[in-house]
C-alpha cells in the first residue's frame, strides 16, 4: 500500500480544487496570442476621443450596465436584444449611446485583422473604458483580461439590476450590496457621473412637479434650478433633452461632481440623496475634498467591477462580431 506524505496529500487536495474564475484572468493574457491588443485599443480610443469626447461617458455607462446585468460578458452588445429594444426602456436607451458601441466595434474589427478569433468583445469593452476614462483626465487602473463573451442576452435581465435616477439610498445600497459592493464603493462609482449627461426626463419632477404647492424642489440650488428649467423646457416634446451631470467641468474626469452635490447641484433625486443621507454624505465630503483619494478608490472599485461574474472557459465564447452571437441558436 502506498503511503503519502501529509504535504503531498495537501498538495493533491489543492490541485483538485477548482480554480476561481478570477484566477483565470491575467494582465498579460494576450501577451503571446495578440501582442498588439493594448496598442490597438489605445489607438482606437485616442482617435475616437479626439473626435467625440462624450465617448468616455457612453462607454462607462455601457460597461456598468454590462457588468451589473450580465457580469462583464458583453451581453449588452447584442443588437438583436438590448440595442434594438432599447426604446422599451428610456433609461437604457439613454445609457447606451452609439459612441460606445462604435469604439468597441472599431477596435474589434482591427483586432480581428491582427489576431482573428482571439480577443473577446468583453475584454475590448473593459480595456476601452479604462483608456477612455484616463483620456478624460481620470485614473488609470488595472484591467485583468481573459473574459469570454456571453452565450445569451435577455432584455428581461435588465430590470432591477441597474440603478435608476430616482431611487432612494436604501434601494441603491440594497442593489449594490447584492452585487458585492460596499456603500463607500458605491459612492466612489457614482463619481463616474462627473462626465456625461442626464436626460431631462430623469429629473423633470424635481423641476416642474415636485409637489402641489412647490413645483421645484427647494433643495436644488436656486440658480442651478433656473438654468435646468431653461435647458429642459421642451423635454416633453424633445425626449432627447439632456444636461451635463456635472455642469462645472463636464468634459473632465475629476471630483467636482461631489463638490456640486454639496452645493445643492445634484441633478437627479439619487444624486441629491447621496449628499443628504448620513451613510453616504461622509464619503461625498471625503471625495469632494480629496481628488487623489477619489481616483484611488474609484480605480479599485472599477477593478472589482470589471471581474464581476466574468465568464471563462466553455462558459462563454469569443465573438467574431460584438453585436451578434457566433451561432444562431440563441
> For the chain, which residues make up each domain, given as ranges?
36-157, 169-304
Q: Is 87 annotated as a binding residue?
A: yes
Q: What is the pLDDT of residue 98?
A: 81
Q: Is 55 annotated as a binding residue?
A: no
Q: What is the pLDDT of residue 84?
A: 39
Q: For residues 269 and 166, is the Cβ–Cβ distance under 8 A?
A: yes
CA gap 204, 235 in Å, rounded = 8
Average pLDDT for runs of 10 along the chain of length 330 = 48 44 82 97 97 93 90 86 40 56 96 97 98 97 96 73 91 96 98 94 94 94 96 92 94 97 96 97 98 98 96 92 79
Q: What is the pLDDT of residue 22?
A: 55
Q: Is 194 annotated as a binding residue?
A: yes
In angstroms and rounded to an integer, the radius of gyration of the C-alpha atoms of the chain is 21
Q: Is 7 annotated as a binding residue?
A: no
Q: Is 205 annotated as a binding residue?
A: no
Q: What is the pLDDT of residue 162?
A: 86
Q: Is 249 annotated as a binding residue?
A: yes
Q: What is the pLDDT of residue 161?
A: 80
Distance of CA 119 to CAs 144, 237, 273, Å?
A: 13, 43, 40
Q: What is the pLDDT of residue 187?
A: 98
Class of domain 36-157: mainly alpha
Q: Is 98 annotated as a binding residue?
A: no
| pTM for the predicted model, two decimal places | 0.88
H-run or E-run covering 173 = helix 169-178
Distance of CA 228 to CAs 91, 201, 250, Å?
A: 19, 12, 15
Q: Is 44 annotated as a binding residue?
A: no
Give me the architecture of the 169-304 domain, per CATH. Answer: Orthogonal Bundle (1.10)
Q: Is 75 annotated as a binding residue?
A: yes
Amino acid at each position: 500500500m502506498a503511503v503519502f506524505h501529509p504535504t503531498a496529500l495537501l498538495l493533491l487536495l489543492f490541485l483538485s480544487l477548482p480554480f476561481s474564475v478570477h484566477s483565470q484572468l491575467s494582465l498579460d493574457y494576450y501577451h503571446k496570442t495578440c501582442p498588439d491588443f493594448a496598442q490597438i485599443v489605445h489607438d482606437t480610443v485616442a482617435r475616437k476621443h479626439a473626435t467625440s469626447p462624450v465617448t468616455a461617458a457612453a462607454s462607462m455607462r455601457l460597461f456598468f450596465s454590462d457588468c451589473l446585468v450580465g457580469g462583464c460578458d458583453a451581453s449588452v452588445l447584442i443588437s438583436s436584444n438590448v440595442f434594438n429594444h432599447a426604446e422599451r426602456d428610456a433609461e437604457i436607451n439613454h445609457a447606451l449611446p452609439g459612441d460606445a458601441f462604435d469604439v468597441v466595434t472599431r477596435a474589434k474589427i482591427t483586432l480581428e485583422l491582427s489576431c482573428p478569433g482571439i480577443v473577446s468583445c468583453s475584454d475590448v469593452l473593459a480595456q476601452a473604458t479604462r483608456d477612455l476614462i484616463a483620456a478624460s483626465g481620470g485614473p488609470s487602473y488595472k484591467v485583468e483580461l481573459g473574459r469570454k463573451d456571453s452565450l445569451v442576452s435577455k432584455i428581461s435581465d435588465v430590470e432591477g439590476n441597474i440603478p435608476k435616477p430616482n431611487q432612494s439610498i436604501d434601494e441603491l445600497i440594497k442593489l449594490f450590496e447584492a452585487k458585492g459592493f460596499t456603500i463607500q464603493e458605491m459612492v466612489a462609482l457614482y463619481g463616474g457621473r462627473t462626465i456625461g449627461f442626464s436626460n431631462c426626463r430623469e429629473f423633470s419632477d424635481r423641476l416642474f412637479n415636485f409637489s402641489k404647492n412647490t413645483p421645484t424642489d427647494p433643495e436644488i440650488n436656486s440658480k442651478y434650478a433656473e438654468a435646468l428649467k431653461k435647458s429642459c423646457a421642451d423635454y416633453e416634446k424633445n425626449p432627447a433633452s439632456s444636461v451635463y451631470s456635472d455642469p462645472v467641468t463636464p468634459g473632465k474626469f475629476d471630483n467636482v461632481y461631489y463638490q456640486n452635490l454639496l452645493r445643492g447641484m445634484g441633478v437627479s433625486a439619487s444624486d441629491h440623496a447621496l449628499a443628504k443621507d448620513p451613510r453616504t454624505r461622509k464619503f461625498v465630503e471625503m471625495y469632494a475634498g480629496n481628488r487623489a483619494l477619489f481616483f484611488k478608490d474609484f480605480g479599485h472599485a472599477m477593478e472589482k467591477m470589471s471581474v464581476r461574474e466574468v465568464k471563462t472557459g466553455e462558459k462563454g465564447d469569443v465573438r467574431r462580431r460584438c453585436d451578434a452571437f457566433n451561432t444562431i441558436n440563441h
